[in-house]
Amino acid sequence: MSGRGARWGLIAATVGTLVFIYFPLAVVIAYAFNSSGSTSWPPAGFSLRWVDAALANTGLRDAFVTSVAIAFGASAVALVLGSLAAVAVARYRFFGRQAISFVVVFPIALPGIVTGMALSTTFATTGLPLGLLAIVIGHATFCVVLVYNNVVARMRRVSRSLEEASSDLGADTWQTFRRVTFPTVRSAMLAGALLAFALSFDEVIVTIFTAGGVQTLPIWIFRSFRLANQVALVNVAGLAAILLSVVPVYFASRLTSDTGAVARG
Amino acid sequence: MTVAPAERPAAASVSRRVAIWLDRRPRVRLALLLAAPVGWLVVMYLGALGVLFLNSVWLRDEFTGLVSRTLSLDNFIEIATTPIYRTVLLRTVGMAAAVTLTCAVLAFPIAYFMARVASPRVRGLLVVAVLMPLWASYLVKAYSWRLILSEDGLLNWLLAPIGLRGPGQTEIGLWLVFTYLWLPYMILPLFAGLERIPSSVLEASSDLGARGGTTFRRVVFPLVIPALAAGSIFTFSLTLGDYVAPSLITTTQFIGNLIYLNFGAPNLPLAAALSVVPLLVMLGYLALARRLGAFEAL
Amino acid sequence: MRIHRAMMLIAASALALSACATSGTPKPSFNLPTAIGAGEGALSVLAWPGYAENGGTDPTVNWVKPFEDSTGCKTTVQVFGTSDEAFGLYTTNPGKYDVVSASGDASLRLVRAGYVQPINVDLVKSYADVFADLKDKPYNTVDGVHYGVPHGRGANLLMWRTDKVTPDLTTWSDMFDPSKSWFTDKKISVYDAPIYIADGAVVLMKTKPDLKITNPYALDDTQFQAVVDLMKQQKPGIGQYWTDYAKQQQAFEAGDALVGTTWQVITNLLQAEDPPIPVKAIQPPDGATGWSDTWMINSKTPHLNCAYKWLDYIVSPEVNAQVASWFGEAPGNSKACALSAADQANCDAFYAADVNYWKSVWYWQTPETTCVDGRTDTKCKGFDDWVKAWTEIKG
């Protein structure tokens, strides 16, 4: 792939792809500030009426708060479970090690509808009520891999010898973890948790099956399609959703130079 | 303040004793590390899949709509003998394959540019630029496409001056939407795969007289197959199980819509049996991807 | 290996669990309450969007707050999108919702499954004022036992864009005619649920009298097959299936749909746009399907008094009128019309008191294998068959 022509071709393709990736988001933003409630293109003019209406809508506000709470819960669980599994896989050789990396990826590699149906039938079969708990369990399960991948990648890059040196110098398990291991993986853990937060905040496929009546922001958006006087608000809610999932991802990628690990989510 | 100093050494010594005990027992340490994550995934995930299987071999009482716990293969027989289910399954798999292929083709130029051409600074920016929309509200993106594809939407508005029309809210429109939604899932692993190819390999190929196209075909492509397979797991699986985008964009049914319809009907056992189908398809796909080395590239 | 064994263990324990649980439906033998006592302080409501507004949609639209203030029952509201979704929420969470606004295609299922309890209608002050033709219907009264209080009703209407479709439409058959331009252009918009099959049955009642369909929800094998064939024949002309207002509203606004089955409220919204979308909706003389909603009480509710207070409140003339005009439907309470000129206008717009209008409306009802038209010499197609047929119709 040499030559100026090829190079310019690649640049054009890259720019084209980025435009393709971003223009639907721009459309949402344009409609969020539309002065009419109509969906025809182009928007009639600029106004903040839908933003004001969205801010006054308590249903939307409650859904937003619920989503934040769920995303916190799910990313906290994912953070603990993903980090533990990552340390085990990166630092120990044991039977079934391959199986663990496989099982961790499973919930995200299988279609969301399967995960949703599995959790939903499990709750129905055991008589447990669907709701917050079911949502958090579902989200945490497929978020584990995000933390796991980030931490494993970091630990593979950080030489084991640092930990061995710490232990040779007389540090015990806790001290080595606190002073050596943890500081090296801290930012990877945080990056993973941020990604988990963003994924949970945005998730709708599994959530619909497990919500049992709880309204998360995506479910509020989904339901709003059915409410005549709320459709225009969807774009504003969408803008909020975009911001709240994009910001954590931005910080996550700042935290880890190993961007590939993020991509592997 | 007077109590603390007395307590601390005691506490410290307990923790120290535990630490020393643990130091000598790597197996115990490992078990403690693995207990929670493995327990969670086995109980909450594999366990739930087990219950899903169980429900798929139960029946539903037609009169009450409740699940009756009688073992039976009726749901699977029903799925196998009703032509519409086969049609929908084939359509879904076809769509997933088409979307995967398109994503792979579209992802290559930008991934190659990011990995092999761009300066490190630009590369970093591009990775973030591709990554961010991946996480930005799926539902809103799908909804945005519904607006874009509608009769007097943006696409027809843009194409009108050159006398063309967009695909509208059809299967082709949906194919475009899916490609859009999952493209970053293909770009990022492919970028990582391309980045890993040592420059010396490409130089060697060129030194041996291979031209750009030959180098690509005989050297680059074989080396990124694992990355392509890894990315394709996501594009394929996400298309396979989606029911929201199809119902937002088209009138066409996909396997997810049937599951959702029967989940709501509600005929939980039939919905469970229907979900086993994409599960099996995906397990087959994962096995294939694994042979292509996808899991090393994940 | 280890994972394998653990999975078997879980499967085994789930089996054991299932063996312990009782299956089948307990028929409630019930002592109806004779008075409404003090409220329990809480109430959970499952409702169609727009039926139990608490200011969440529009801060000025709130009839939950006055209810809370006067009864002390702290009320949480959950909305659902389709009857199937409402029933699904009950199956996955039977104890959660104290009261529910169920359409006829959900109510009977709720009764059969034992999720809702018989009601002492004497405790609901306004019950006497409910339109007579809404009472004692098969979807709210089973074997003479009342399971709820009628709330409001609407017909599924035939709507078209008057600027693109001329002359005015007069019959449902226009939506099934492959020679029409909106059919060949795929500009037809229909409701996306198995219950829509009944619309086809209504058409055949008129066009194929020899099929002898007397009730669109009671179809034997031959009748059902004929209806399904008709629906399949309509499929190529359909450009859109809708369950949400937004989808249909946008489609008519944008010209993606020119003809369709609709609800009055969507027509009103389109006509209220600026500039107004030129649409017209009628109930063709062929008759129509429609819905009649009933407030029901959970059989396991711990908040029985609050539930009764809610029923009493929500069908009282003032509140019933508010809900009906906000949602866009005919109120169930006959006294809801005369409260103000605006309420009267709403009642007129929705034919609330027009007995003849409603005579040709077939309210949604769950199809059962025991024919709901009273035939005993044959079996009818149950809801499972309707779901499966719907899947085949959509293709």
Name the residue facing B132 among A13, A102, A250 (closest C-beta): A250
Q: Is C61 within the bounds of a domain?
A: yes
Q: Is A250 within the bounds of a domain?
A: yes
Contact assignment for B51 to A122 by CB distance below 8 Å: yes
Mutate to test the interface with C, among A227, A233, A235 (most CBs of C within 10 A): A227
Q: Is C324 within the bounds of a domain?
A: yes
C 168-207: CB under 8 A from B: 192, 194
Q: Which residue is associated with the tokens 């929309």?
A: B133
Are residues C126 and C146 part of one domain? yes
**Chain C residue at shortest CA distance from B146:** C247
Q: Is C11 on the interface with A (CB under 8 A)?
A: no
In the Cβ-directed half-sphere of A187, how many Cα atoms lie within 13 Å? 13
Which pLDDT score is estimated for B277? 94
- Over 70: is that where the pLDDT of C12 sits? no
B 164-183: CB under 8 A from C: 168-169
Q: Is A81 within the bounds of a domain?
A: yes
Please tell me whether residue A84 adopts helix, strand or coil conformation: helix
Task: Annotate C335-363 with b (16+ C-beta within 10 A) or e (fewer).
Answer: bbbebeeebbebbebbbbbeeebbeebbb
Q: Which residue is associated with the tokens 């409404």?
A: C36
Nearest to C279 by CA among C136, C369, C165, C155: C165
Which pLDDT score is estimated for B65? 66
Contact assignment for B36 to A81 by CB distance below 8 Å: yes
Q: Which residue is associated with the tokens 């394709």?
A: B232
Which pLDDT score is estimated for B12? 64
CATH number of the domain within which C69 lies: 3.40.190.10
Please list the helix, strand and coil fractions of chain A in percent, rounded to the nearest 5, in that order. 80, 0, 20
B69 CB neighbours in chain C (<8 A) are: 18-19, 21, 23
Q: Is B50 on the interface with C (CB under 8 A)?
A: yes
Full residue range of the structural domain in which residue A142 is found: 57-263
Are residues C353 and C385 part of one domain? no
C21 CB neighbours in chain B (<8 A) are: 69
Please tell me whether residue C307 adopts helix, strand or coil conformation: helix
Q: Is the omega angle on the peptide bond into residue B266 within 30 degrees of 0, that is, cis?
A: yes
- Over 90: is that where the pLDDT of C326 sits? no
Residue C201 · residue C213 · CB < 8 Å? yes
Name the residue facing A57 among C3, C14, C57 (closest C-beta): C57
Name the residue facing B282 among A111, A121, A141 (closest C-beta): A111
For strand B67-68 and strand C330-331, is the pairing parallel, antiparallel, or unpaired? Answer: unpaired
- Give the distance from residue C326's alpha carbon to the nearest chain A alpha carbon, in angstroms: 11
**Per-residue pLDDT tens digits for C172-196:** 999 999 999 999 999 999 999 999 9
CATH number of the domain within which A159 lies: 1.10.3720.10
- Give the distance from residue A57's alpha carbon to the nearest chain C alpha carbon, in angstroms: 5
Q: Is C5 within the bounds of a domain?
A: no
Are residues C91 and C215 part of one domain? no
Nearest to A154 by CA among A102, A191, A179: A191
Question: What's the structural domain count of chain C?
Answer: 2
**Per-residue pLDDT tens digits for C213-236:** 999 999 999 999 999 999 999 999
Name the residue facing A230 among C46, C57, C274 (closest C-beta): C57
Are residues C256 and C175 part of one domain? yes
Which pLDDT score is estimated for A48? 86
What's the rounded Cα separation, in Å, for the pair C24 and C114? 10
- Give the distance from residue C5's alpha carbon to the nearest chain A alpha carbon, in angstroms: 13
Q: Is C89 on the interface with B (CB under 8 A)?
A: no
Please tell me whether residue A182 adopts helix, strand or coil conformation: helix
Residue C24 identity:
G
Q: Is C3 within the bounds of a domain?
A: no
Q: Which residue is associated with the tokens 């010898």?
A: A161
Q: Is C65 within the bounds of a domain?
A: yes
- Over 60: is that where the pLDDT of C361 sits? yes
Nearest to A144 by CA among A73, A210, A92, A196: A196
Phi, psi of C31 (to 5 degrees): -95, 115
In the Cβ-directed half-sphere of A219, how many Cα atoms lie within 13 Å? 27
Please tell me whether residue A103 adopts helix, strand or coil conformation: helix
Full residue range of the structural domain in which residue C128 is found: 38-153+291-359
What's the rounded Cα separation, in Å, for the pair B95 and C15? 37
Q: Which residues of chain B are in CATH 1.10.3720.10 domains? A: 82-297
Q: Is C22 within the bounds of a domain?
A: no
Nearest to C190 by CA among C262, C289, C104: C262
**Per-residue pLDDT tens digits for C280-306:** 999 888 889 999 999 999 999 999 999
Mutate to test the interface with A, among B21, B33, B38, B45 (most CBs of A within 10 A): B45
**pLDDT < 70 stretches in chain A:** 1-3, 226-229, 256-265
Are residues C149 and C48 part of one domain? yes
Are residues C172 and C146 part of one domain? no
Residue-wise DSSP of B173-194: HHHHHHHHHHHHHHHHHHHHHH
Q: Which chains touch C (3 or more CB pairs under 8 A)?
A: A, B
Residue A113 · residue A205 · CB < 8 Å? yes
Distances (CA, A) of B236 to A109, B2, B75, B138, B241: 9, 64, 25, 16, 9
What's the rounded Cα separation, in Å, for the pair A157 and A179? 17
**Per-residue pLDDT tens digits for B227-258:** 999 999 999 999 999 999 998 888 889 999 99
Q: Is the omega angle on the peptide bond into residue C278 within 30 degrees of 0, that is, cis?
A: no
Residue B63 CB-density burial (10 A; 0-12 exposed, 13-18 middle, 19+ buried): middle
**Residue B266 CB contacts under 8 Å (≥ 6 apart), including other chains:** B65, C84, C87, C88, C91
Q: Is A230 within the bounds of a domain?
A: yes
Contact assignment for B169 to C239 by CB distance below 8 Å: yes
Contact assignment for B140 to A221 by CB distance below 8 Å: yes
Which pLDDT score is estimated for B233? 93
Contact assignment for B183 to A17 by CB distance below 8 Å: yes
- Give the distance from residue B81's alpha carbon to the nearest chain A alpha carbon, in angstroms: 22
Q: Is C207 within the bounds of a domain?
A: yes
Q: Is C236 on the interface with B (CB under 8 A)?
A: no
Which pLDDT score is estimated for B9? 54
Q: Is A185 within the bounds of a domain?
A: yes
What's the rounded Cα separation, in Å, for the pair A97 and A93? 7
Q: Is A40 on the interface with C (CB under 8 A)?
A: yes
Q: Is C258 within the bounds of a domain?
A: yes
What's the rounded Cα separation, in Å, for the pair C333 and B162? 58
pLDDT band at C46 (very low <50, low <70, confident <90, very high): very high
Question: What's the structural domain count of chain A?
Answer: 1
We find that the CATH architecture of domain B82-297 is Orthogonal Bundle (1.10)
What value does the mean pLDDT of chain C take?
87
Are residues C142 and C174 part of one domain? no
Mutate to test the interface with A, among C44, C57, C265, C266 (most CBs of A within 10 A): C57
